[in-house]
Structure 1
Amino acid sequence: MKEGLDMNKKISYTLEFDKIKQALVRYTSSELGREQAEGIAPSTSIEEVEKWQEETEDGAKILRLRGGMPIPKLQNIRPHLKRLEIGAMLNGLEIAQIGKILKTTSEVTRFFDDLKDAEIELHQLYELVAKLVTLPTLSQLIRETVDEDGRVLDDASQALKGIRNGMKRAESNIREKLDGMVRGKSAQYLSDAIVTMRNDRYVIPVKQEYRGHFGGVVHDQSSTGQTLFIEPQSVVDLNNRLRQLQIEERQEIDRILAEISNEIEPFGNEILNNTYLLGKLDFIGAKASYAKAIKGTRPLISETNEIKFHQARHPLLDEKIAVANDITIGGDYQAVVITGPNTGGKTITLKTLGLLQLMGQSGLQLPVAEESQMGIFNEIFADIGDEQSIEQSLSTFSSHMTNIVSILDQIDEKSLILFDELGAGTDPQEGAALAIAILDKVGEIGSFVMATTHYPELKAYGYNRPKTINASMEFDVETLSPTYRLLIGVPGRSNAFEISKRLGLDETVIQAASSLIDGESQNLNEMIADLENRRKMTETEYLEVRHYVNEAEQLHLDLQTAITQFYEEREGLMKKAREKANQVVETAEEEASQIVKDLRKMQLTGQFEGGIKEHELIDAKTRLSKLHHEEALAKNKVLKKAKEQKTFKKGDEVMVHSYGQRGILMEKVDNNQWLVQIGILKMKIKESDLSRVQAEKETARKMVATVRSESNSHVSTQLDLRGERYESALKELDQYLDAALLAGYPQVTIVHGKGTGALRQGVTQALKNHRSIKKFETAPANQGGNGATIVEFK
């Protein structure tokens, strides 16, 4: 949190931002990420908020394409590094935890290198990961010394390996000797035929009365005193030898750990930096996962604090029951006054606005529609709920007013204030006057304010004050229940008469009550009712107009795309034609030169006394005439194809080159595409992918609607997607399935590889959504196992 944005210490509790933190923490996978999630707080810097939002967007993109970042459970190793600074020796577990940090650093670096190779664009994370320092030599040394649980490995040194081999032999000798005792004739002197340990030495349980039979040392006795745990004299020397080896093992382990600690100490700063960065990546991944859970989107940021939350939901409410609302403030309206009866959802609307703003300024995505917009406030204040203090013996009104006084002393033009039931708890007339005066004061300072009230006087206030607008929560008189929809621009009105009428109250009573209220209130209610009707009519008209606008925008976009493609294809065809023509001319020039050369040679040789004979001249002239440019260009397949494309018409039989199939032109979709009937399928195909099939015999023309493949082997029964990018692989899969259906295959094999599993999941989802697939399953082990999928068509 930036200095100066203390959020008056109560705002996090009042708006339940602490619960957002708790939800976020559950998505972290390491102690390092947990620390950063617990410390999340809003910032007042637009640059910092923008950066945080970009980081969250990067995390969401990686989660969508790769299933998240490879951050395992990591421990906080900062205390270990501090101990190294003062010359202490780390134990095996502490070294293993540092080794895990180094190993994860290498894995994360490789992960992002792969993303870069795949040309996946990110805003911030490439730059962040570039700060990680890989230490492969030190990492390998740690892996060769200790395992993940911190146990020093046998191969850590030759001496340790020799000691442990000696220990194994000593233990084997001891157990062999003691096993002979417990299974031989001496077993009758034992309480139980087992070998156990006391004080790190092997012993056997001997009955009290036979304690002198084996000799040796008594190390323990049972609670009853009937059994003694004796180290027999015959194994004392062996146990002593084992004990000596154990001491030597401990000393060698200490030496190894001290040596490794000394190797780690010079890299303390780099490891500490890696620790922080890995924690940040885990934290960013948690923000992305939480965004996915609440179906969050990245908000735009308004430098003028104009808030436009489209279809906003409270993130702590169940998505299935929460009503999404458009919440706006700023721009033309610095104040929004929500009027109307209680239980309509006014308070939750206030909390939604404040909480989403806190989340956005903390770098979290919001449960709102795309293109929503947030502001950047220095402070957010809220007076919500019953703040009555029993200890201070304050009434509800006094408690609220104390809070409001404190708020008015701190606000500025970059503050957002939320007032719930402003002026409540006192005489209605005085309370309404106070509410108006407080809103005027806030307006003078220039703060942004959203206030709820049930005072009818504030309905007129919303009309009369500049930069102020009324709002209300919709109420359905038919069902006698609130809809929880926020209506901006329409003040709330009393529904008491309508409700009473539907509940069966006598009409005369309702008329009598209506005559008792003053004319101004009656006119106001009628005006509000008229506004509501006009709003509904306007909303219907807006939706209709919006539909036509969307259609027009799409048509305009399609036209622009078609024109662009037309010019690109025309330029490409002309370029190819020019190149081909130039090649033809060059060839013609070479051949003409050769003919002239031959003629001259025949003339110079003088082998014909009368000169060149007439038939030879005619032959040479014929050869030259064949080089005519128009005839040569007529053979240019590129130009012929271009000419044929311009003569397409409905009903023509064409060849679809990308599928190797014939089809019939049904109709022209736009300047660049035709609707083509290929067997039972109708598909949009670009003109550049079509060529007209020449007319065949009459009997063949009768079968023009049949679809024939150019070659039975054109479509393989297996599609290999390994190495393909995610989006292009799914596009290729879709085209292949259509081609396989046209080829009449009963089943095909899709090879997607094992890898990270992202491509396999994408293929599985695509197959589930395909209507022509009967079933699909993982291939047998001898056909690729879980690296391939067998698909059976209907």
Structure 2
Amino acid sequence: MDDRTLKVLEYDKIINMLSKYAVSNKGKKMCVELRPSNNIHEVSDNLNETREAMDVVLKWGNLPLEGIRDVTDTIRRCRMGFVLSPKELLNVSDLLRCARNLKTFMKDGSKKENFPIIHDIIESLFVIKSIEDSINNAIAGEDEIHDRASQKLFSIRKAIREKNSKIREKLQSIIQTYSKYLQDPIVTIRGDRYVIPVKAEYKGNVPGLVHDQSSSGSTLFIEPMVVVEMNNEIKELMLKEKAEIERILSELTEMVMKYIDDIEYDNENIAYLDFLMAKAKFGLDLNGSIPEVNDSGLMNIKSARHPLIDKEKVVPIDIRLGDTFKAVIITGPNTGGKTVTLKTAGLLTLMGMAGLAIPAKDGSQISVFKKIFADIGDEQSIEQSLSTFSSHLKNIVDILKNVDNKSLVLVDELGAGTDPTEGAALAMAILEKFYEEGARIIATTHYSEIKVFAMEKEGFENASVEFDVETLRPTYRLLIGIPGKSNAFEISKRLGLDVDVIDRAKSFVSKDSAKFEDVIQSLQSKTLLVQRELDDVQRLKREVEMLKKELSEKKYKIDSQRENLIRKAQEEAKQIIRQAKIETDSMIKEINNIRMKAQESASIKEAEDIRKKLKQRLDEMDKSEEIVDEREGMVPADNIKVGDEVFVTTLSQKGEVISLVDSKGEVTVQIGAMKINVPLNKLLKVLNKKKESKKAGTTKLISQKVYNVATSIDLRGQTLDEALYNLDKYLDDAFLAGLESVRIIHGKGTGVLREGIQSSLKKHHYVKSIRIGDINEGGSGVTIVELKR
């Protein structure tokens, strides 16, 4: 992209704003180096990354990037063989800690589905806990090593502390001895050696080595001879300490070097995450959106706002280009916003091509251009002796040399700065040339001739910035399809210019020009009226849509609740039946047990009690079954007439038909005091015959279950638990039916089912004996059971 265009459209200011949102120096550098791309696939990918990053910020505020450091220089020094400083090692530790925190943050599986791009970047990061821990255990600060960094360092520092303590004690005793010779009774240090301040005139009274003197020369700093050896020992220990620290730092540097490629990878990718977060926060602060992109020259930016104008003051504009017209000519008074419109269109296109959110409504479209040219502003040069006209024309010449069908051309006040007639003619010829080259064009002008040119020329469209004559202020709204009016006479009149002068001025304007300006004024007035009505219609439409959505949601909720209630009632009914049947089986077992004691009168009475309980439970079950079988005795309502009793399936209620089928296929049904229209396919016709008593049928069913029993049962394909449960029930029924022997089919298979069944049969109280079936009975896949009598 041409650097001059970036400067004219103030792209650099956008980039500087963006860089302030980055946390790390490397992230800021990525922001500063961001340039628009003319590859639509790259632009699309970059915008998708920004959209995902914005979603992350909206949901969590930010990624855990606290303490992120740029270790690019540290990596370079490490590769060159330098020993890293404590500060550099701490920066490496901070980077690795940040990578670990990011991995922990992204562990949630749902984040992978919702944020695949950022998830993949974080998932690829390296966590090297060993290096992180080693650095943190050894280094206490940017210039400080822990005593426990090594055992040797701990011993050396302990020895230094002990020597320092001893030498201070010795010097304190010397101070007391030589106090009258001292400037002050204190111990101080000069050149890493302990000394005492002695008055110059008493130099010979305190034996020792002079290390320094005061600026006035009145004080000498003397190391007493009795502590010289002790100071030498401390000096040796300090040299050992320094050597041990260098060894520790060298060892840590070697550890870093071992994983230098992984650390460099983390450094690049964490900085890129910081860059993505900066783009996201910048876009959200602009109230921006992610535009749709194309490479066909189509631009449709809705409610566009210039990002460098206060968002509380800027007036949103709609900018369209490239659908039915490829060139837009904007006219209107000065300070009306023509130039801002040009810059907004160009700058938002550059931002989108750079992968940034743009300050516009959702659904906006931008095109990816190979080149963007901008000739905006007064660039006359005194040094080059160029006038305003010459300066603009030089830029136009350069554009004409490079423009093609993948270009966007933005030209402000084309043809200005010279004779109006010649300037207008030249402007029309230049615009025509741009159009022939296939470029998309947005230009501003004051010339009426160009307004007419744009109206007559195919592919061109007029536009204007609105001006309120009553307030003498521009509204900054862009009106596409209507050429602008200068409003010079109206403005002059409101500012107090004599009416005679204005009338005289009007006489100099040709009738055709005056008539054309009046047509423009009429168009603007009508457009404003239509726009206001359209705004009202849109507002009402939104309100209707909201009400429709509300009602739809309420209906869905009511339908769901009704269906849930019906489903719950049916489930409860089925559960009652299941429970009743379980209890019935249990009672049958009790009857079987009692029957074996039938000779005893007490057992007979007990059997009678159980029988009564069974009868009572079966009656309850019959009532429950009526809930589930409430549609029994009903048929589809094909032929329906007034007075028929029907069942409404959507309400699970019975009612009476009070009207015939209408044109919508609905009939009116009265349910109690309520009358409702119901589709025919939601009705069942209730037959006239009464329901037969369920009681007898149910009792008969149980009787058949107990006494009409087959002589064999097939348990193949069942689990052992299922087979044993079904076998137990079957033997109860077979025993009650008075069968002498039965055949249990279990198959051969692995033998697990057969062994489990036979083991259970041997313990069963109804079983007299068991044997494997003969060849004609099924062989080893069948067990023959002889029941007790």
Of 621, 627, 634 in structure 2, the residue corresponding to residue 627 of structure 1 is 621
CA–CA distance in structure 2, aligned partners of residues 340 and 616 of structure 1: 102
Task: Name 2:463's counterpart in structure 1.
Answer: 471
SS of 1:582's equivalent in the other structure is helix
Task: Provide Cα deviations, 1:267-324, integer angstroms capped at 9, x if missing partner.
Answer: 1111001001111111122222222332222222234332222222211122222222
Letter in 1 for 2:304: A
Q: Helix, strand or coil: the match of 2:140?
A: coil
Report the equivalent of 1:732: none
Distance in 2 (alpha carbons) for counterparts of 1:132 and 1:470: 54
Q: Which residue of 1 aligns with 2:256?
A: 264
- 1:258 to 1:503, Cα distance in 2 relative to 1, 3 A: closer
2:60 is equivalent to residue 66 of structure 1: yes
Instruction: Report the counterpart of residue 169 of structure 1 in structure 2.
Output: 162
- Indicate conservation of the 8 Å contact 2:389/2:418, yes or no: yes
Deviation of the 1:590 alpha carbon: 4.5
Corresponding position of 1:276: 268
Cα distance in 2, alignment partners of residues 397 and 315 from structure 1: 30
Give the Cα separation in 2 of the matches to 1:85 and 1:622: 91
Q: Tell me the equivalent position of 1:151.
A: 144
Q: Pick from 17, 22, 34: which aligns with 2:28?
A: 34
Check conservation: 2:316, 2:477, Cα contact below 8 A.
Answer: yes
- Larger mean Cα displacement after TM superposition, 560-569 or 166-175: 560-569
User: Aligned partners of 1:77, 1:619: CA distance in 2, in Å?
Assistant: 85
Deviation of 1:413 (Å):
1.6
- State yes or no: 1:92 paired with 2:99: no
Deviation for aligned residue 1:535: 0.8
| 1:620 Cα deviation from its structure 2 partner | 7.0
The CA deviation string for residues 565-615 of structure 1, in whole angstroms up to 9 with x for no partner, is 45544554444344333323333444556777888999994889xx99999
Percent identity among equivalent residues?
40
Taking the aligned partners of 2:170 and 2:609, their CA distance within structure 1 comes to 120
2:15 is the counterpart of 1:8: no
The structure whose Rg is larger is 2
**Letter paired with 2:91:** Q
Aligned counterparts of 2:100 and 2:623: Cα–Cα separation in 1: 65
Contact 1:93 / 1:151 at 8 angstroms: preserved in 2?
no
CA contact (8 A) 1:95 1:150 kept: no
| Count of matched residue positions in the alignment of Structure 1 and Structure 2 | 633
Within the candidate set 503, 507, 519, 1:515 is matched to 507
Contact kept in structure 2, 1:51 and 1:124, CA below 8 Å: no
Which of 379, 386, 397 in structure 2 is aligned with 1:387? 379
Report the CA distance shift for 1:185/1:467 in structure 2 as closer, same or farther (over 3 A). same
C-alpha displacement at 1:436, in angstroms?
A: 0.8
- Residue 495 (str. 1) matches residue 487 (str. 2): yes
**SS in structure 1 at match of 2:3:** coil
Judged with a 3 Å threshold, the aligned counterparts in structure 2 of structure 1 residues 332 and 219 are, in CA distance, closer, same or farther, namely same
Following TM superposition, by how much is the alpha carbon of 1:151 offset from its aligned partner in structure 2, in angstroms? Answer: 2.2
Residues 175 and 643 (structure 1 numbering): CA distance in 2 closer, same or farther, change over 3 Å?
A: farther
Q: 1:105 aligns with which of 99, 103, 118?
A: 99
Inter-CA distance 494–239: structure 2 relative to 1 (3 Å threshold): same
Whether contact under 8 Å (2:67, 2:98) holds in the other structure is: no
Cα separation, 2, equivalents of 1:26 and 1:218: 56
Q: 1:510 to 1:199 in 2, by over 3 A?
A: same
- Report the alpha carbon displacement of residue 440 of structure 1 after superposing the two structures with TM: 0.9
Give secondary structure in 1 for the equivalent of 2:352: helix
What CA distance in whole angstroms lies between the structure 1 residues aligned with 2:498 and 2:538? 45
Counterpart residue type for residue 165 of structure 2: S
What secondary structure, in the 3-state scheme, does the structure 2 residue paired with 1:382 have?
A: strand
Q: Map 1:437-456 onto structure 2 (within 5 A).
A: 437-456=429-448
Return the offset for 1:101.
1.3
| Alignment TM-score, normalising by the size of structure 2 | 0.74
The answer to whether the Cα contact below 8 Å between 1:31 and 1:73 also exists between their aligned partners in 2 is no
Aligned residue type for 1:140: D
Residue 746 (structure 2) aligns with: none
- Distance (Å, rounded) in 2 between the aligned partners of 1:596 and 1:68: 69
Number of the residue aligned with 1:710: none
Letter in 2 for 1:64: L
CA offsets per residue over residues 505-562 of structure 1, 9 Å max, x none? 3434333322321122112111111111111121122112212322333344345434
CA distance in 2, matches of 1:12, 1:34: 19
Q: Residue 47 in 1 paired to residue 45 in 2?
A: no
Q: Residue 543 of structure 1 is aligned with which of 535, 538, 560?
A: 535
Question: 1-side partners of 2:608 and 2:67: how far apart?
Answer: 97
Q: Deviations over 1:603-635 (max 9, x none)?
A: 994889xx9999999997665434324576399
Equivalent residue for 2:229?
Answer: 237
Give me the CA root mean square deviation.
Answer: 3.2
**How far apart, CA to CA, are the structure 1 residues paired with 2:589 and 2:92?**
84
CA gap of 1:607–1:410, structure 2 versus 1, over 3 A, is same
User: CA, structure 1 residues 589+74, in 2 after alignment: closer, same or farther (shift >3 Å)?
Assistant: closer
Structure 1 residue 10: Cα displacement: 0.9
Is the 1:97–1:148 Cα contact (8 Å) retained in structure 2?
Answer: no
The one-letter code matched in structure 2 to 1:541 is E
CA distance in 2, matches of 1:300, 1:50: 8
| TM-score, scaled to structure 1 | 0.74
Equivalents in 1 of 2:172, 2:377: separation in Å? 77
Partner in structure 2 of residue 337 of structure 1: 329
- Contact 2:295-2:369 within 8 A present in 1 as well: no
Contact 1:416/1:448 (8 A) holds in 2: yes
- The equivalent residue for 2:767 is none
Conservation of the 8 A alpha-carbon contact between 1:31 and 1:74: no
Q: Does 1:415 align with 2:407?
A: yes
CA distance in 1, matches of 2:617, 2:53: 71
How far apart are 1:209 and its partner, in Å?
A: 0.9
* Structure 2 contact 53–276 (Cα < 8 Å) conserved: yes
Whole-angstrom CA distance in 2 between matches of 1:269 and 1:601: 81
- Code of the aligned partner of 2:57: L
For 1:168-223, what per-residue CA distance to the aligned partner results, in whole angstroms no more than 9, with x for missing partners? Answer: 112222223334444x2523322233332222222222211111222221112222
Q: Cα deviations across residues 139-178 of structure 1 (Å, max 9, x unaligned)?
A: 1111111134142211111000100111111222222333
Within 5 A, what are the aligned runs for 1:92-241? 92-113=86-107, 116=109, 121-182=114-175, 184-241=176-233
Question: Cα gap change, 1:187/1:292 in structure 2, threshold over 3 Å: closer, same or farther?
Answer: farther
Partner of 1:766: none
Contact 2:570 2:627 in 1 (8 A): no
The question of whether the paired residues in 2 share the 8 Å contact of 1:32 and 1:278 is answered with no
Residue in 2 that maps onto 1:527: 519
Gap change, CA 1:255 and 1:643, over 3 Å in 2: same
Any idea what SS the aligned residue of 1:269 has?
Answer: helix
Deviation per CA, 1:361-382, whole angstroms, max 9, x where unpaired?
A: 1122222223222221111110
- Alpha-carbon displacement from aligned partner over 1:676-730 (angstroms, at most 9, x marks no partner): xxxxxxxxxxxxxxxxxxxxxxxxxxxxxxxxxxxxxxxxxxxxxxxxxxxxxxx
The 3-state SS of whatever aligns with 1:68 is coil
Q: What CA deviation, in whole Å up to 9, does each residue of 1:79-134 have, x standing for no partner?
A: 322333243322222222212211221122222225x5678822521111112111
Residue in structure 2 matched with residue 298 of structure 1 by the alignment: 290
- The answer to whether the 8 Å contact 2:326/2:439 transfers is yes
Letter in 1 for 2:96: L
- Conserved? CA contact 2:95–2:266, under 8 Å: yes
Query: 1:445-495: per-residue Cα shift (whole Å, max 9, x none)?
Result: 111111111111111122112222111111111111222222222211021
Residues 558-569 of structure 1 mapped to structure 2, 5 A cutoff = 558-566=550-558, 568-569=560-561
Q: 1:573 to 1:529 in 2, by over 3 A?
A: same
Counterparts in 2 of 1:591 and 1:528: CA distance versus 1, 3 Å: same
Gaps of 5+ in 1: 1-6, 637-641, 648-670, 672-794
Please give the alpha-carbon distance, in whole angstroms, between the structure 2 residues aligned to 1:423 and 1:259: 72
- 2 CA distance for matches of 1:130 and 1:552? 46
Aligned residue number for residue 756 of structure 2: none
- Classify 1:501/1:226 alpha carbon distance in 2 versus 1 (closer, same or farther; 3 Å): same
- Cα deviations by residue, 1:34-90 (Å, 9 ceiling, x for unpaired): 211111111122222222223223332333332322223544322322333243322
